[in-house]
Amino acid sequence: MGDTLEFSDIYQEVKGSWNDGRLRFSKQNVVYKSSKTGKVDSIQAGELNLAQWRRVCLGHGIKLGTSSGHVYKYDGFRDTDFEKISEFFKANYKVELTEKDMCVKGWNWGTAKFSGPLLSFEVNDSTAFEVPLSNVSQCATGKNEVTLEFHQNDDTEVSLMEVRFYVPPNQSDERQDPVEAFAENVLSKADVIQATGDAVCIFKELQCLTPRGRYDIRIYPTFLHLHGKTFDYKIPYTTVLRLFLLPHKDQRQMFFVISLDPPIKQGQTRYHFLILLFSKEEDLSLTLNMSEEDVERRFEGKLSKNMSGSLYEMVSRVMKALVNRKITVPGNFQGHSGAQCITCSYKASSGLLYPLERGFIYVHKPPVHLRFEEISCVNFARGTTTTRSFDFEIETKQGNQYTFSSIEREEYGKLFDFVNAKKLNIKNRGFKELTVQFTYRA
């Protein structure tokens, strides 16, 4: 048997939506990478303490548990995969892959068991269904009843809004209300955002491009709170996918971009990106609302109690430490004017396109982030209205097309060389020589 096992088209359920990706078992760890978001789950081999093989709606699935209490579930395996995965687990992880039967009787009464981050509903000791408690947005109690409400996922056609459990009274123990005990178990692991306690720090009146307005940003240990004149948002750090720090073309301003999944909502509008705009000249002295010992223990040198510097540096530094994500900055690309971005138009608005080390990001209206691994090909096209510009088209593997138009023709050589160096598939490779000749004649 080899050192690794790899499986493609393996699915992970995220709030009712199936995300496909690749799963790799190696001697050191288990790694799953989502094709949709690029998010990576990495489980160290030494942490694995549970492995179950189950029959699920997408063929067969595997449920993995760790010593820290986390649970991971991946579906889409074939029946024939069981034997080789089982042997690999025994040889490398010293964990036995056990077969677990699910209850398919359709009964709606049984036993609710709380195990780590899951609420498991069991009928005759067989699991009927499981509820990841991190998906719970609200928990309400009534007489002999507990109602769970769930965070919604915009990518699903049908969403589960709520589940109600009837909890019979406990005749033997009158001191403890079983309904309250049930609710406490749920709330201890649920993702219910409550602004209790003091904020770590507060940034006043920051300029936000999407959603537009000026917001006070209160930084709490597990979420950030955007407070504006009209709208209020609480954003858990678990929903932050990526952080970007991008210099404006004028060299006087900086964009700080926070990528979110799921997005925040304002009426019917969804915001997958939170974009802040800073002036480089704006400075700030910041004092964290924690003792020096707590700061050192919590952030391990990433932050200090008293800090000063540019406002954008303070915000990005605090966010990086709390979200525990690295900040993506532009790579070695340099345009015709010396800037690290290209002026262009997308749809009806003018903006800036940043070629990054692993993708492109366009700001700011609407923001677009495209990773190289989801790009099928790119295309350089002549401008439709004038010969002094060209269009840059990106086609994704899902069949979506993004056209960035009105790019100055002087940027062509730099962008072509960048795309070529990144080994992206160029539709019209013979177009470069044609454009260069055309440029010199003009």
pLDDT class for 438, splitting at 50, 70, 90? very low
Q: Which helix (H) or strand (E) holds 89?
A: helix 81-92
| Range(s) within the chain of domains with CATH label 2.30.29.150 | 201-328
CATH of 4-100, one of 3.30.1490.150, 2.40.10.120, 2.30.29.30, 3.20.20.140: 2.30.29.30
Rounded Cα distance, 174 and 178, in Å: 9
Phi-psi region of 59 (alpha: psi -120 to 50; beta: other; left: phi over 0): left
Rounded Cα distance, 400 and 123, in Å: 45
CB atoms within 10 A of CB 223: 20
Single-letter code of the amino acid located at 230:
T
Q: Class of 342-422 per CATH? A: mainly beta
Look up residue 79 and give its two tokens. Answer: 């029946």
The 10s digit of each residue's pLDDT in 158-212 is 888 888 999 988 766 667 788 888 888 888 877 766 655 678 888 998 999 988 8
Rounded Cα distance, 278 and 182, in Å: 46
| Range(s) within the chain of domains with CATH label 2.30.29.30 | 4-100, 342-422
CATH architecture of the domain with range 201-328 = Roll (2.30)
Spatial neighbors of 370 by CB under 8 A, at least 6 apart, are: 359, 360, 361, 394, 396, 402
260 φ, ψ (degrees, to nearest 5): -120, 140
Look up residue 330 and give its two tokens. Answer: 């532009």
Rounded Cα distance, 215 and 232, in Å: 9
- How confident is the model over 25-47, as a mean pLDDT? 88
CATH topology of domain 111-188: PH-domain like (2.30.29)
Instruction: Please tell me whether the overall predicted TM-score, pTM, comes out greater than 0.75 for this model.
Output: no
Average pLDDT across the chain, whole number: 85
Look up residue 373 and give its two tokens. Answer: 């691994």
The 10s digit of each residue's pLDDT in 111-147 is 999 888 889 999 988 888 888 888 887 787 888 888 8
pLDDT of res. 274: 92
According to DSSP, residue 253 is labeled: E
The 10s digit of each residue's pLDDT in 213-239 is 899 998 888 888 888 887 778 888 888
> Which residues are bridge partners to 164 per DSSP?
147
pLDDT for residue 442 is more than 60: no
Spatial neighbors of 218 by CB under 8 A, at least 6 apart, are: 195, 199, 201, 202, 224, 225, 227
Cα dihedral sign for 55, 57, 60, 64?
Answer: negative
| Range(s) within the chain of domains with CATH label 2.30.29.220 | 111-188
Q: Which helix (H) or strand (E) holds 112?
A: strand 111-115
Residue for token digits 């959603």?
Answer: 211
Residue for token digits 């069981």?
Answer: 82
How big is the chain, counted in residues?
442
The 10s digit of each residue's pLDDT in 240-276 is 999 999 999 888 999 999 999 878 877 678 889 999 9
> Which residues are bridge partners to 39 per DSSP?
none
Rounded Cα distance, 420 and 426, in Å: 8
From residue 385, alpha-carbon distances to 390, 406, 407, 408 in Å are: 9, 9, 12, 13
Strands 48-56 and 98-100 come out as parallel
